[in-house]
Amino acid sequence: MKGEPIVILLVEDDDGHAEIVRRNFEVSLLANTLIRVADGQAALDYLYRRNEFLDPASSPRPGIILLDLRLPKVDGLAVLKNIKEDAEFSLIPVVILTTSEAELDVAKAYESHANSYLVKPVDFTKFTELLKTFGYYWLAWNHSPR
């Protein structure tokens, strides 16, 4: 593993799913900081340092974004498009983490330049394994531009 702390922005409205992600990263001992926001508007506010996220010390730039599609206020596809159309954020890997297996959602996500599309398994053990594999791939083995 690289050992460098990576800021992960988790955009997830489901408290249970967010807790599973948090616990998995904690148990896997992956060097990172997990910051969670619960809706699409909060994700954009975080990235653009607006409202409650004005202070750069408490809103560090993420090294990766885990993004749900079905979000309140601003949906995940709109957040993804905003990220990838802004030169300041376009190189941040965005991984869709959603319950939707709909081919249209997958296609729209990749058309909007998602870096990966993962479907949350209903089974807890499989969800845990998915997150463990994700953690090692994206946070330990993958090389991204800084």
**pLDDT per position as a tens digit, 47-63:** 999 999 999 988 999 98
Average pLDDT, the chain: 88
* Tokens found for residue 93: 């890997």
Yes or no: domain 6-141 corresponds to CATH 3.40.980.10? no
Q: Decide: 64 and 8 in contact? Cβ < 8 Å.
A: yes
Coil vs helix vs strand at 28: coil
Q: What percent of the chain is predicted at pLDDT more than 70? A: 88
> Any idea which residue has 């998995």 for tokens?
24
Mean per-residue pLDDT, 126-132: 83
Cα separation, 123 vs 68, in Å, equals 18
Cα separation, 77 vs 114, in Å, equals 9
pLDDT at 30 over 70: no
Domain boundaries, the chain: 6-141
Could you read off the pLDDT of 68-122 as tens digits, one per residue? 999 999 999 999 999 999 999 999 999 999 989 999 999 999 999 999 898 988 8
Q: For residue 25, what pLDDT band results from cuts at 50, 70 and 90? A: confident
Q: Which distant-in-sequence residues (6+ apart) come within 8 Å of 110 by Cβ?
A: 117
Nearest to 66 by CA among 103, 41, 34: 34
